[in-house]
Amino acid sequence: MRLARTVAFWLLAAALLVCHVIVIQHSLGARFWEDEAFNLTVPRNLLAGLGYASDGALSGSTLTLFDPRISTGPTVLLPVTAVLAFGADAVIGARMIPLAFWIALIAGLIVLGRRTAGRWAALLAASVPLAFNGLGSVSPIQGPTDLLGEVPAAALLVWALVVLPRRAWLAGLLVGLAVQAKLIALLALPGFAVALWVLAPGHGWQRIVQTLKRSWLPLVLAGVPTLLVEVAAFLSMGSAKFVEHLRGLAHFVRGGGQHVQPTTVPQKLETLAGAWFVPSWVGIATAVLCVLLIVGGLLAVRGRATDADRLAVMLIAVSAVGALAFVGWWSTAAHTPLWVRHPAAGVPAFFPVLVICAVWGTRALIAHGGLRRALGALLVALLSASLAWSVVGHVQQTALPRSETLATQRVAVAPIADWVRETGTTWLAADPWGAAVAPIVLSGAHVGLFDANAMAGVPRLTGFPCKTPTLVEGARYRVCAAP
């Protein structure tokens, strides 16, 4: 039986690896979409000697230093700049950085899973990010290599959990880097604060004092990356523009940069339940299973917890608080749209850890034997089946026909890119924001927004018929003379 389990494990591990490779390959060739393109303007401008600036398409369509509307931060964009400095293809080279973070995310989950509940927990945890479906909105996460900050932030949060028990200072630094990968990672701080309290020795006031003593250095280091970024912003802008930058950043953090009809908590929870490659009811049932197994495990070890059990309790605390922070904020923030991308820095970080804790709970139940052993084995089998179903669904999704890919975009943009080089055009206006943004970035021009004052007299790239003379036309897009 032991040999059979070992063979089964490695066959399933190989199958999961193949699934990851298929999804990664699909993601690398996926359509280059507008948020990726907007993020890419920062490394491109930095390499051109224009500073850490976006093209400012959402901030007046002028070069904008430390643009608050770029919520993907230097933790991602500076490594992208380094890759492009070596002459890598702009899109594929840029997507290599999120890919590296995706690999780090999976590796961190494997380490946590094996350390907490054995190799089967590691295998299930490594499958959860593939089970998450970020495609269901106009602001998607197409795949693990999108030039966005969510996956890098999740990877850094997971590795902060890995090092937290022995190197709390390093965990603090990794959380700070996660914040500078994606600002929304700030919501992870309460979970890590709870984890420090769980790990502190003693009881009562003694425990509180120990928590405070152990927390000051991680807290300081968590703020260091943001402090360095803001110091760089101050030195680049000067005091007056820096104050404007801070105001813009605060406005963006409070408002999310969106103006939509208010959403409700049930709508948000329904959207999250549907953000998996299985029917919503299966996703809800899987969440309930995880809660049952975790609670069962906690009851089973009550009063006799080992060191390994204490590690699991810490992970339960931090992942539960972290997941609730991300989902709770998003579901109650009525000004944010029904985009699962908003909590997506927390979902791939904390939901897999909850699955690890569910497997730990199963092991604790099995150790007691009897009916609880049979029940625990049944529940974890159902959990495994749900995750397998979702992963297979993700792989099947990669085989569906795509209306546009990176390759077709390049073909469509080629005549426009040639025209940009020949005419020396430096700016093009996207008409409207959306599908027109990426072709402009691929053409080599700076991207503005058609209705910005700075774009008066600037040619417009669009996918619609021109109302003014057509200057150049590709397969899907055309450049129209300014009205």
Q: How far apart are CA 315 and CA 158, in angstroms?
A: 11
Q: What pLDDT was estimated at residue 370?
A: 59
In this prediction, residues 145-167 reach a mean pLDDT of 96
Lowest mean pLDDT among 178-192, 252-266, 350-364, 463-477: 252-266
Contact 296, 365 (CB under 8 A): yes
Residue 343: helix, strand or coil by DSSP? coil
Residue predicted with more confidence, 312 or 310: 312
Residue 206 has pLDDT above 80, yes or no: no
Angle between helices 74-85 and 34-47 (to 10 degrees): 60
Q: What pLDDT was estimated at residue 196?
A: 87
Q: What pLDDT was estimated at residue 330?
A: 92
In this prediction, residues 397-422 reach a mean pLDDT of 94
In this prediction, residues 420-444 reach a mean pLDDT of 94
Q: Name 77's Cβ contacts closer than 8 Å, sequence gap at least 6.
A: 39, 42, 43, 46, 52, 70
DSSP string, 290-322: HHHHHHHHHHHTTT---HHHHHHHHHHHHHHHH
Look up residue 243 and give its two tokens.
């104050």
Residues in the chain: 483
Q: What pLDDT was estimated at residue 256?
A: 62
* Residue 358: C-alpha distances to residues 48, 71, 305, 449 (Å): 50, 33, 16, 48
Comparing CA positions, the residue from 384, 321, 328 lying closest to residue 350 is: 321
* DSSP-assigned letter for residue 369: -
Q: What is the pLDDT of residues 4-14, one digit of tens each?
A: 888 989 999 99
Q: How far apart are CA 179 and CA 184, in angstroms?
A: 7
Residue 110 has pLDDT above 80, yes or no: yes
Q: Name 103's Cβ contacts closer than 8 Å, sequence gap at least 6.
A: none
Average pLDDT along the chain: 91
Q: What pLDDT was estimated at residue 373?
A: 65
Q: What pLDDT was estimated at residue 245?
A: 87
Q: What pLDDT was estimated at residue 344?
A: 93
Q: What pLDDT was estimated at residue 257?
A: 60
SS3 content of the chain, % helix, strand, coil (to 5): 65, 5, 30
* DSSP-assigned letter for residue 52: S
State CA 237 to chain mean position distance.
29
Q: What is the pLDDT of residues 276-292, one digit of tens each?
A: 999 999 999 999 999 98
Q: How far apart are CA 332 and CA 324, in angstroms?
A: 11
Q: Exposed, middle or buried, 60 (CB in 10 Å: 0-12/13-18/19+)?
A: middle
Residue 376 has pLDDT above 90, yes or no: no
Q: Roughly how many angstroms between the first and final C-alpha of the chain, as a whole number?
A: 75
Give the chain's radius of gyration (CA, Å). 24
| Position 197 confidence tier, pLDDT thresholds 50, 70, 90 | confident
Residue predicted with more confidence, 117 or 97: 97
Calculate the dihedral angle through the C-alpha atoms of 187, 191, 192, 193, rounding to the nearest 10 degrees.
100
| Position 453 confidence tier, pLDDT thresholds 50, 70, 90 | very high
Q: What pLDDT was estimated at residue 90?
A: 95
Comparing CA positions, the residue from 160, 36, 170, 49 lying closest to residue 98 is: 36
Lowest mean pLDDT among 58-72, 209-223, 390-404, 463-477: 209-223
| Position 260 confidence tier, pLDDT thresholds 50, 70, 90 | low
| Position 452 confidence tier, pLDDT thresholds 50, 70, 90 | very high
In this prediction, residues 182-203 reach a mean pLDDT of 88
* Residue 284: C-alpha distances to residues 37, 165, 287, 356, 467 (Å): 35, 31, 5, 17, 50
Query: In percent, how much of the chain has pLDDT > 70?
Result: 96
Q: What pLDDT was estimated at residue 302?
A: 80
